[in-house]
Structure 1
Amino acid sequence: MSIGRINRTKGIALAAITSTAVVAGVIFIQGAADADPKPTLAQAKTQVAALQHKAEVAGESANDLRGQISASTARVNALKAGIAKQQTQVDTVRRQIGSLAVAGYQTSGMSTTAQLLLSPNPDQFLSQASTAQAFAGQQDSALRRYQQAQGKLTDLQASEQTELAALQAVQAQQNALTKQIQTNLDAAQKVLDKLSDTERKRIEQENADEAAEARKERPTRDSDRMDNLPVPVSGRAGTAVQTALAQLGDSYVWGADGPDSFDCSGLMMYAWGKAGVSLSHSSKAQASEGRRVSKSQLMPGDLVFYYSPISHVAMYIGNGRIVHASRPGKPVKTDPIDLMPYNTAVRPG
């Protein structure tokens, strides 16, 4: 065998060995990734809770864009209405100019002297000639009105395009946050999928039991369950507290504001809405929709905000407890006020 052929053979063999090693490495890495150690039940609960909290944070960030989207949409609609109205004015002036142009054309082919000589009634013609001068002035005035109307229409159309671009940008941000919510929820589900059937059923049963226990705390006609509050609560705050407690056991759903499912800011919006107080569907926005109160001065109905930046809101019900739509996978329930990092509080209404 020639030396060249031997070298070529060695080269082919080396390439084959290298390729095999690369493939084996990829398989090993993939296998290692797929073979992440199975978490204990406690570890899985911790990981799922963290991922669900991340989903809630993204959800409240998406909620915070609702106000911008609503305001921008209102401006776009107002501009569209203004454009339609202005277009009608432009069309009206254009028709006036057309009528004036036709009328002017009918006498433009003959000199004033010739028209006077041929007129059967010279006195009447001279009167009409004076009117014609005024008619020419009308044409100039109409042209000026048209230019002004068309200029305003162009400005309105440009403003609409600018506002539409801004609206689309905010909507794109909200869509990205919505995807982030689902990504975190999917990651939480993957953690659960690593557990055994028995472990998953145990978690499901614990969640179901927690929802059932929460529903037992709901106010009833026989007992309004307000006796355990440290101070009397009535009026709007009383209505808000009663409404929030009536939702105990309902499920957490991002973007929901009742009547059977809620996210944290949606629950506050719903409860205070029943009391006649309008709140934004955003925990960050709600933090500025009331009078600031200190933690030591909290009263039932006050809104309590958590984390920095704010990403969760609850309602104080007294005795150091809150009612809130806690996070995905959990029901509306009551908890100690210090369950999460406290930020601030406000009193709506």
Structure 2
Amino acid sequence: MASHRKPRQHPLASLTGGGSRRARTARTAATLALAGAATATGLDGTAQAAPRPTPAQVKDRVDALYQEAEVATQHYNGAKESADTAREELSRLQDEAARRTRRLNAARAELGTLATSQYRSGGIDPTVRLLLSADPQRYLDGAAVLERTGSHQATAVAGYARRLGSVRQIRQRAEDTVERLADTEARLKKHRVTIVHKLDAAEQLLSRLTAEQRQRMASRGGARNGPDRSGPDRSRTDRGTDRGTDRGDGPSGVPGGAQAAAAAAQAPSPRAARAVSFAYGALGKPYVWGATGPSGYDCSGLTQAAWKAGGVALPRTTYTQISSGPRISRSQLAPGDLVFFYSGISHVGLYVGNGQMIHAPHPGAPVRLAPIDQMPFAAATRPA
């Protein structure tokens, strides 16, 4: 049998005389009280500001951001090199397609002359059917056409077939190159965005420091004036601020010119000597990501330009420059050798002797002398 017991009342209803409206009012009040308590707790938690990072913590994070930006810069450099190559190839293919199309049109005109002559003499010549065909290549695939034509006509038809296939092949290669270029430009854009975001984050961190703290950081090899986000399209002239200290003297106090000459004299080849001299001449020039000079450089742009002055064409990125010659151990280093850093091979400098290199460190720090122990050493190469 069905139960006829009354529905059980809410406890709040019994306390307030059983009225449903009063019960709802009580429940609402309880909910608001709990919400108010939670809000108060949240405000207490957020009222305490995060502790201000110390200059050492800022430097560590900024250095990490610069290193991450440099990784993206090397990917950008590789993509840009691929894009430049694809553009050159596309231009060449377009020129070649135009030349072959002109030859194809000349062959078509010759076939037209032969077809007209044959038609006037009676009948539909295979050449006419070739010209009228919606798919000339398919028609030409039938070998019988050449057997039904005279020797001169056969030569003209064969030449037309060859040129038609050649033009189609070139056009297909051009279309493939266009697609590859579009993919590469998309990667360029992605890497550019990554670089700018990393440098923006570094700039925000550096803005928290006082001028004195930033100067101390610069004296220890950190950022000088904050990131330069202008990228490879930079057109500003070289900055002259603190150029003398950036050029620097060697550990023995030898003036820059004499030190450059001494390092070049110790180079294992005339080419390496010229590369070393070029690197000394670049001291003080600004770091500009994606740049290969002459106004500014990134790390691999500097080494590429230095060895270009020595008559050796290095590839563009650190990942490819490391394979530009035999590997050299640290004990075998000589002026002109390329020294690479970090496990990802994302930074490179030019060794100049006495445990030092010339390199383009990062945005805000111009080309300078630095000890190779300043960063985690990965490998060394002697370009050949």
TM range (shorter): 0.7 to 0.9
> Aligned-pair distance for 1:72?
3.0
Q: Does 1:255 align with 2:290?
A: yes
Q: Which secondary structure does the structure 1 equivalent of 2:368 belong to?
A: strand
The answer to whether the 8 A contact 1:87-1:153 is kept is: yes
1:42 to 1:82, Cα distance in 2 relative to 1, 3 A: same
Match of 2:73 in 1: 59
Q: Does 1:213 align with 2:245?
A: yes
Match of 1:278 among 285, 302, 313: 313
Distance in 2, matches of 1:65 and 1:7, equals 69
> Aligned-pair distance for 1:88?
1.2
How many residues align? The count is: 320
Match of 2:107 in 1: 93
1:89 alignment partner AA: R
> Aligned-pair distance for 1:304?
0.8
The answer to whether the 8 A contact 2:315-2:321 is kept is: yes
Match of 1:238 among 273, 276, 282: 273
Deviations 1:79-128 (A, max 9, x none): 2222112211221111112222333333438xxxxxxxxxxxxxxxxxxx
The answer to whether the 8 A contact 1:39-1:195 is kept is: no
Distance in 2, matches of 1:228 and 1:211, equals 21
1:193 alignment partner AA: S
Task: Return 5+ residue gaps in structure 2 as ranges.
Answer: 1-18, 124-147, 226-240
TM-score by structure 2 length?
Answer: 0.69
Deviations 1:195-236 (A, max 9, x none): 457756776898378654123449999942247659733622
Match of 1:326 in 2: 361
CA-based RMSD of the aligned residues comes to 4.0
Greater displacement, 141-150 / 239-248: 141-150
Distance in 1, matches of 2:32 and 2:118, equals 92
Distance in 1, matches of 2:155 and 2:28, equals 90
TM-score by structure 1 length?
Answer: 0.76
Match of 2:323 in 1: 288
Greater displacement, 196-205 / 36-45: 196-205
> Aligned-pair distance for 1:274?
1.4
Higher relative contact order (CA 8 A, sep 6+): 1
1:97 to 1:305, Cα distance in 2 relative to 1, 3 A: same
Distance in 1, matches of 2:294 and 2:37, equals 59
Distance in 1, matches of 2:224 and 2:77, equals 26
Q: Which structure carries more helix by proportion?
A: 1
The answer to whether the 8 A contact 2:249-2:255 is kept is: no
Distance in 1, matches of 2:307 and 2:358, equals 13
Distance in 2, matches of 1:10 and 1:95, equals 98
1:342 to 1:154, Cα distance in 2 relative to 1, 3 A: same
Match of 2:95 among 78, 81, 85: 81
> Aligned-pair distance for 1:14?
11
Distance in 1, matches of 2:99 and 2:33, equals 76
1:47 alignment partner AA: R
1:138 to 1:288, Cα distance in 2 relative to 1, 3 A: same
1:161 alignment partner AA: E
Distance in 1, matches of 2:154 and 2:262, equals 81
The answer to whether the 8 A contact 1:64-1:283 is kept is: no
Deviations 1:257-291 (A, max 9, x none): 22231111111111111121211221111111122
Greater displacement, 93-102 / 51-60: 93-102
Distance in 2, matches of 1:95 and 1:13, equals 95
Match of 2:171 in 1: 157
